Structures are given as C-alpha cells and as structure tokens.
Amino acid sequence: MIYLDYAANTPVDKRVLEEYCKTNLLYFGNPNANHQAGFSALNQIEKASEQLRGILHCGPMEVLYTSGASEANNLAIKGAARAYRENGRHIISTCLEHSSVSGALTWLQQTGCEIDLVDIKKDGTVDLQHLKELLRKDTVLVSIGYVDSELGVCQPIREIGEIVRDYPQCIFHTDATQAVGKIKVDTENIDLMTFTPHKFFGLNGMGVLLRKENVVLEPLVHGGKSSSIYRSGTPVPAWAVSIAEALKISYNDLDNNFEKVRRIRHDLQTALQKYPLVHINSTEKSLPHFLNVSVKEIKAEVFQSMLNEKGIYVSTKSACSVPNTPSRAVYAVTGDRKLARCSWRISVSHLTGEDEVKEFLAVFDRCYHELTDK
C-alpha cells in the first residue's frame, strides 16, 4: 500500500492513542458530577484546554469539544448567524470551503440569509479588495477557510481578519482543519476557529471550536449540562487529553516535518510536470502537503481507480465532497471546467517515504501511457 491521502485522514500516533486509553481508564467519572471523581475528570479537560490554548497562542478563547470539524463548523456558522440575526442576515464566504461549511451556509440561505462569495485570484487566494466591497453594515459573519482541502491554498488570514475587524458587528470564522498540525496558525484576528485532530495523527470522531469570549452562539443541541453552554452533552476527558497530545506532538517537530514535506512535494511536482498532459493545479500559495493535478482528457475517477487497483491511494477531491462532479476549487483557479473534471489530489506527510514516491511515479508512468497513449 502507498498511502497518498493524508489530507483526508492520518494514522493515529501511538502516543495519542495511549493517552486516550489511559485517560478513559483513570478518569471515568462524569465531569459534571459533584464529587471527587467528577472533579478529577473535569480537571483533565481544563488542563488539556489550557495546554491547547498555549500551543496555539489563542489567549483566553473558550475551547469547545465536538464530535468532529463538521459539527464544529455547523455550530460556529449556524450558531453565530442565528445569534446575531437581529443585526443582519448577510454572510460572506468562498467557493473553496469544505462541504460542512457550504452545507451550513446553504441551510442558512434557505432560512432567509443572503450569501455572497468572494472572488478567488489565480493563485487561489481571496481577492481582498472584493471582500472589502462585499462587506456591509448588515454583514454578521465571514467564513473563510485557512487552507482549502483540494488545492491546499493558504489564505491571508491575518489580513482578512484586519479587514473584518473594521465591522464590529461581524464575526470572522475560519475552518482551520487543513492548517492546524501542518503550519503555525495565527489566531489573533479570529473570532471562531475550527479543526479536528484526525488530520494531524490524532483520533477520529473529535473536533474543536475555539470561541472568543465576547462571541455568542445559538447552540445546535439544547439541554443537558456540559462544560459549555454552547455545546450540550457529557464532556469527554479523553477527547480533550488526546487532542492536546496530538497537537503537542505535531508542534514539537513542525519545522522539520514541513521541510521534509516540501522536499517530497518538489520531487513529485518536478517529475509530473514532464508529462505533456499533466497540469499542476496547486499554486505557489499551496502548502507542500498538497499537490492537485489534472491529466487532461482523463476523468479523475478513471485515473484514481487505476491507481487504486495498484495499491496507490489518492483522492479525486475532498473526501466529503459530492462524487463525480467538477472541482469548484480547481475551476475557480483555472477557469477550465475540463481541468476541474480531471483533477485529483495527492497529499503527503512527513511519513511519506522516498521509496513510496519512486514507486508512485513508476506506477503513474504506466497508467499515464496506458490511458493516454502519449
């Protein structure tokens, strides 16, 4: 097996799994209970949250633990839009967002909200001038992802936050799912930030929403005491502890891992660019963990299927996207629907080995010539 789909999911680090299991065994009391077992369990959550805040340098932001980034995005977007609906119903986002963001926005649009999408430049970043033009007095939410999941384009989050800050009634949310664990994120001008640990060698089924203290949300789930009024349900100490552990491990070697990934991406891109029908869709603003390519005239599903048969695993788009549809992200950057229909994503990590890269390129070569006769 050659796994080149790390943007979809990562294998759990054994140290993270050990912390999860140990916490479940030792701190099994209900954190809401008014006795020592409950107090001890709650203390584990509070310690993990403090560790998480320290690593991300996000100050006093509240840490809400959810079942994943999809729930966190829905809580952030629906919660903010509904909490501030008396101030306005205008929301700004992009065409690059994960389906848990675009789906939540579609739901809000059906309930009477007005959604505008910011133009995307050729390098995949948002047009800041267009963002300024779209902002209005009744804009209550701007939701723009830190790094998109197909091209891996890193957005100018600090600058976006500074622009939004001129509109005090407007909340700025960023889905940082594809950023946290890969780069050092900047949280200074962010009101709401979401991510999940299974993208950086943590466990599935967990998510985080960071909330600035002055931001109000309408809960998705009502009733049931919890560690936060915004997310009902019994808090899970093992979630918090394992997320903090995964984040600590990823940050401890962030620079070295990034440099290794950069070299892998360079080797892959250099080799693939030699093929006349290959078009590189990722841009200079993309993180090296992502390499989005199109093989012209060959549908993405066809190429992916052939690679899959040979034990090489890549994605046609984000794992949560609607299958057999053109990539909105690739179309936004290239303006070419055929390229968008033929695009697929290679995503690597520091665990990707040189031998895996060589084997992938050899298999790619055979598939390319078999499918294109060129």
Alpha-carbon distance 58 to 305, whole Å? 42
List the structure tokens of 216.
Answer: 């109000």
% of the chain beyond a pLDDT of 90: 94
Roughly what angle, to the nearest 10 degrees, separates helices 300-309 and 354-372?
Answer: 120
**Long-range contact list for 228-234, CB < 8 A, 24+ apart?**
228/62, 228/64, 230/64, 230/75, 230/79, 231/64, 231/65, 231/66, 231/75, 234/30, 234/31, 234/32
- CATH number at 14-252: 3.40.640.10
Mean pLDDT of 124-131: 98
pLDDT digits (tens, 9 = 90+) for 53-108: 999 999 999 999 999 999 999 999 999 999 999 999 999 999 999 999 999 999 99
Q: What is the mean pLDDT of the chain?
A: 96
CA distances from 272 to 8, 153, 281, 329 (A): 22, 19, 12, 20
All structural domains of the chain with their residue ranges = 2-8+253-372, 14-252
pLDDT digits (tens, 9 = 90+) for 181-204: 999 999 999 999 999 999 999 999
pLDDT digits (tens, 9 = 90+) for 206-246: 999 999 999 999 999 988 777 789 999 999 999 999 999 99
User: Which of the 8 DSSP states describes residue 13?
Assistant: P
* Homologous superfamily of domain range 2-8+253-372: Aspartate Aminotransferase, domain 1 (3.90.1150.10)
The residues that are catalytic are 320
Compute the Cα dihedral for 73, 339, 153, 292 and give only its sign. positive
**What pLDDT score does 226 carry?**
78
